[in-house]
Amino acid sequence: MSPFVIDIQNLVFQWPGKHGFRLSIPQFLVRRGERVFLQGASGSGKSTLLSLLGGVLQPQPCHLRVLDTDLTTLTSSARDRFRVDHVGFLFQQFNLVPYLSVLENVLLPCRFSQRRRRQALESATSLEQSADRLLGQLGLDATLARQPVTALSVGQQQRVAAARALIGHPELIIADEPTSALDAGRQAEFLDLLLSRCDDENVTLIFVSHDQRLGSHFSRTVDLNELCETTAL
C-alpha cells in the first residue's frame, strides 16, 4: 500500500471548447492522514483540480492515483462509484438538497454507496443512529435531525454537510471553501469541529480556501499557484 492518498505526476487537463484553458500539475503528493490547506483564489484551477480528484473529470493519460486507485483507467460510472465510496465532499454554501430532511441529507451517500452504508452500520445499530451520533459530535441537537434543512442557519447547514461528508468513514474529505459563508467566530468553531472529527476518524483532509489566516490550523499549506500551472488559450 502506497503511503500516499493522492499521488499525481505530470498531470495535464485540457478543457474542451474554444475558451477552455489547460491545467498542468507536475507533482502533488498527499500522505495518509495529512491535513492539507490548499490556498488559492478562484480562477487558479481550484475547481478543476477538485473535479479531477473526485473523478468527475478525466485527465489526459498520466499518473493520477487516489487511494491507490488509478483514476485514469476507470470508466465514468466506476469513477462515480469510487467517489461516493471513498471521498466525502463539502462545499462552500447551499450544501444540502432542499427537499430532503436533515437526516436524509446526512444519509445521502449511503443511498448511493454500499460501502459507506456498511461502514456506517459498523459502529451503530442503524443508519439513523450513526447519523445522529455524527450530528451530535458536530454540535447539532438531535431534535434538528428531522427538520427540513431550510429551517437551519447557515452554520448549522454546514455542520450537516460535514456530517454527510463524514458518514460511513470515507478515507478522504475534500472541503471547498466550507467556511467562507460563516463569520469569523463560527469559522474557527466549525474548523475545530471538522479537524477533530478528521483526527478521530483518521481521515485525510484537503481543505481549499482563499483565506490565508486559516492555514495555521493545518499541518501543511500548499499554494495552488505554485502547485499547478494554468494556461488560458
Partner 1 sequence: MPKCGGSGLKSLFSLAFASAWNRRATLGLMAVSIALSVMLLLGVEQLRTQARESFSQSISGTDLVVGARTSPIQLMLYAVFRLGDATHNIRWASFQAMAAHPAVAWAVPISLGDSHRDFAVIGTTSAYFKYFRYGDRRLLAFAAGKPFTDIFDAVIGADVAAQLGYQVGDSIVLNHGAKGLGLTEHADKPFKVSGILKRTGLPVDRSVHVSLEGIEAIHLDWQGGAPMPGVSIPAEYVRKFDLAPKEITAALIGLKSRAGVFQMQRFINQYKGEPLLAVLPGVALDELWSIVGIVEKSLLAISALVVAVGLSGLVAVVLAGLGERRRELAILRSVGAGPRVVFLLLAIEGLMVVVAGALLGVLGLAVLSLFAAPVLEARLGISLAVGMLSAEAWQLLLLVMAIGFLVSLVPGYRAYRLSLSDGLTPRL
Which residue in the set 26, 61, 97, 153 belongs to the binding site for partner 1 (CB under 8 A)?
97
104 touches partner 1 by CB under 8 A: yes
Q: Which listed residue (112, 123, 219, 229) binds partner 1 by CB under 8 A?
A: 112
Sheet containing 4-14: order of strands: 69-70, 63-66, 4-14, 22-31, 229-231
What length does the chain have? 233
Could you say whether residue 134 binds partner 1 (CB under 8 A)? Answer: no
Instruction: Indicate whether 14 belongs to the interface with partner 1 (CB under 8 A).
Output: no
CA distance linking residue 10 with residue 15, whole number of Å: 16
Interface residue with partner 1, options 100, 124, 181, 188 (CB under 8 A): 100
Candidates 45, 66, 103, 176; binder of partner 1 (CB under 8 A) is 176
Starting at the edge strand that comes first in sequence, how are the strands of the sheet with 220-223 ordered? Answer: 87-90, 172-176, 204-209, 35-39, 220-223
Does the protein bind partner 1 through residue 210 (CB under 8 A)? Answer: no
Q: Are 23 and 229 in contact (CB under 8 A)?
A: yes
* 40 touching partner 1, by CB under 8 A: no
Residue 54 is a binding residue for partner 1 (CB under 8 A): yes
List residues bridging with 34 in a β-sheet: none
Asked if residue 109 binds partner 1 (CB under 8 A), the reply is yes
What is the smallest separation between the CB atom of 216 and partner 1, expressed in angstroms? 26
Min CB(110)–partner 1 separation in Å:
6
Among residues 174, 85, 175, 166, the alpha carbon closest in space to that of 131 is found at: 166
What is the DSSP secondary structure assignment for residue 94, as one 8-state letter?
A: -
Task: Quote the CA–CA distance of 192 and 218 in Å, as a whole number.
Answer: 11
CA dihedral 129, 131, 136, 139 (to 10 degrees): -170
47 binds partner 1 (CB under 8 A): yes
Stretch that binds partner 1, among 59-67, 105-113, 138-146, 189-197 (CB under 8 A): 105-113
Contact residues: partner 1, CB under 8 A: 47, 50-51, 54, 56-57, 76-77, 80-81, 83-85, 89, 91, 94-100, 104, 108-114, 117, 164, 176
